[in-house]
Amino acid sequence: MKTFNQFISEGSSEKVGNHHWVNPHHTDEHDEVHHQHKDLANDPHTPGHVKHMINHLRDKKNYSKAMKSGTTTNVHHTDKDLHKIGNSMAHDSNAMNDVEKEKRKRVEGQFKQSHKKPIKKPIIMHDTHTGHKHLLAGNTRLSHGIQKAKTKVPVHTISYDSSKLPQGNKK
């Protein structure tokens, strides 16, 4: 017999290789928005449109709406543009060595057990105008999937168009 959570997530789960993935709930990882808003506020390398979207997503209603309308896209270890995903270590083959041992073990365990318990998909923001991608949550899951498991990683993607943002927030 399936649990209620398994039943609810059934429509949003998928199998990639030996790993089962599930969409995050529309309220999951909202705390990451607040951390990034604070951490990236004065970062000269983060585009203005990313900062604008993070600010917009600080409101729980906006975040929930964006998560509900998100779609699944995939990131693969052979992608030549891995280094272009902002706020991610997925392109660095040695990055997992820098992750705290406890966190690394937890994610390794998630991958080993994903045939029984699905892994939550990382969350990416994608600007459909410029093609820029910014990882919002799930850096360790994405990096492990790419660099250690050498698998295609489905990500929950929040799309937006920076050309439709107020003038000062496009850079």
The pLDDT tens digits for 36-60 are 999 999 999 999 999 999 999 999 9
Confidence at residue 169, expressed as pLDDT on a 0 to 100 scale: 56
For the chain, the distance separating the N- and C-terminal CA atoms, rounded to the nearest angstrom, is 51
Residue 95: φ, ψ to 5°? -60, -35
Query: What is the enclosing helix (H) or strand (E) of 153?
Result: strand 153-160
- Pairwise CA distance, residues 72 & 21, whole Å: 11
pLDDT tens digit sequence for 76-133? 988 888 988 999 999 988 878 888 999 999 999 999 999 889 999 999 999 999 999 9
Query: What is the enclosing helix (H) or strand (E) of 111?
Result: helix 101-112
The model's pTM is 0.88
